[in-house]
Amino acid sequence: MSFQLEFLGGAGTVTGSKFLLTYNDTRVLIDCGLFQGLKSLRLKNWDGLSVEVSKIDAVILTHAHIDHSGYIPRLIKMGFRGKVYATAATKDLCKILLPDSGYLMEEEAEFLNRTRRTKHSPALPLFTQAEAEKSLRFFEPIAFNLLQSIGADIQFEFRYAGHILGAASVIIHAGGLKIAFTGDIGRSHDRIFFPPANLPEVDFVITESTYGNRLHKNTDVLEELAETINTTVRRGGVVLIPSFAVGRAQSLLHSLWLLKKQNRIPQFPMFLNSPMATNVNELLGQYKDLHKISSDECIEICNVVKYIQKTEDSIALNKKKGPMLIISASGMLTGGRVLHHLEAFAPFPENTILLTGYQAAGTRGETIANGGSEVKVHGRYVPIRAQVKNLDNMSAHADYSEIIEWFGRSKIQPRRVFVTHGEAAAADELRRRLSEKFGWDCCVPELGQKVILS
């Protein structure tokens, strides 16, 4: 008996993760993410899949980030009627993330139509907030390390992966074989999350490679963050931090809390302008067994900033003078309230734009990180005269050294390894390093490629 594995996303790019596994007559989609970044990739979100959606039996999510979960409402809109399996924390995060994504898509379509800044007549959202809320009915939470059956032929289990709350690697059991989908691999020495759990012995591995050609800097994140804040405050400027609402925002609050406790930054206004991130913070207290932070610390950390909920309060921030600090989604500047702050503060050299994680190709974040002098926002070009800093070491992704260390610690001997979820250079570099270190048969699959696992 054999499996067919089809790479419907997350191949040749870090976004759009979708891996279709077919065994006998059972079809399982591991992850169901949105493409982000380059326009050529974003347009793929509007394409149909190569398989009839109604014939997919189940979806298994590694974690809640939109590049892994954001296509689910669209999939259901196209006729999927199976179950979406996720850890309990991932399900709760998706309750926040998916409706918010639908809302933002509707808001953007309405703005483009109202201001006539669209070639479409009319511009439409990929899915709506109501469709995202409907999709949540299909979710079924599964505990870590528990075997769950899909039909008569396939079982799977979740293994703790770190990275963000609820993140997991997926181990598929079927036909006498085990197949591991790593999902996004967390850091070995994260301040908030535990190291990823070791993998069991498996026959095949599908691994991420976001930082497959890079090492995180051996620098003190707190020192870099404090220096950036203090320098900007002395200029009377604004520190604008684009941040993912899930994971990165909580890491930032934790770092700001530590700096305040140690009196390494002054007392000045700090804001979290992301209703979604506000709701995510509350989940930290509900899932205390999934991270290192105590209940009392959770409360203190969440109170380190002032929360902005209402739209009018968000708009009012743009009229304030520095010094102040604003954390706002999205982390790669692909949408959300942060774009309005970018318009307001990027043109002025006393301000700082602080990037805190991976910036996918084609995003505004990548343009700014690479020294771009302007970015297009809401149909207009915004000059980037603010100082630009990058806290690369705050990433929630393991670098290639940490990935290799994790695989070595797991003591696995897979027959073949597929390197995915990375730009071409990163994926190929990790492929080479894994082959040299362990002698494994490794390859970098192409988008749309089908392989037989036998």
- Tell me the C-alpha distance between 407 and 398, whole Å: 12
**Residue pair 364/406 in contact by the 8 Å Cβ criterion:** no
30 and 172: one domain?
yes
pLDDT of amino acid 440: 98
- pLDDT (mean) for 384-413: 94
- pLDDT (mean) for 402-418: 97
User: How many structural domains is the chain composed of?
Assistant: 2
pLDDT digits (tens, 9 = 90+) for 98-125: 998 898 888 888 877 887 766 777 888 9
Q: What is the pTM of this model?
A: 0.90
CATH number of the domain bearing residue 410: 3.60.15.10
137 and 210: one domain?
yes
- Which tokens in the block code for residue 114? 């109202």
pLDDT of amino acid 361: 81
pLDDT of amino acid 277: 72
109 and 132: one domain?
yes
Please provide the DSSP assignment of 185-251 as one string: PPPTT-SSSPPPPPPPP-SEEEE--TBTT----SS-HHHHHHHHHHHHHHTT-EEEEE--TTTHHHH
Domain encompassing residue 317: 221-394
Element (H, E) at 378: none
162 and 61: one domain?
yes
- pLDDT (mean) for 418-429: 96
pLDDT digits (tens, 9 = 90+) for 254-274: 999 999 999 999 999 999 998
pLDDT of amino acid 329: 84
| pLDDT band with cut points at 50, 70 and 90 for residue 1 | low
pLDDT of amino acid 282: 82
pLDDT of amino acid 298: 87
pLDDT of amino acid 120: 74
251 and 303: one domain?
yes
pLDDT digits (tens, 9 = 90+) for 298-357: 889 888 999 998 889 999 999 999 899 999 988 889 888 899 999 999 999 999 999 987
Query: Is the pLDDT at 198 greater than 70, yes or no?
Result: yes
Taking Cα atoms as reference points, which of 165, 196, 170, 5 lies closest to residue 89? Answer: 165
- The per-residue pLDDT of the chain, averaged, comes to 93
196 and 279: one domain?
no
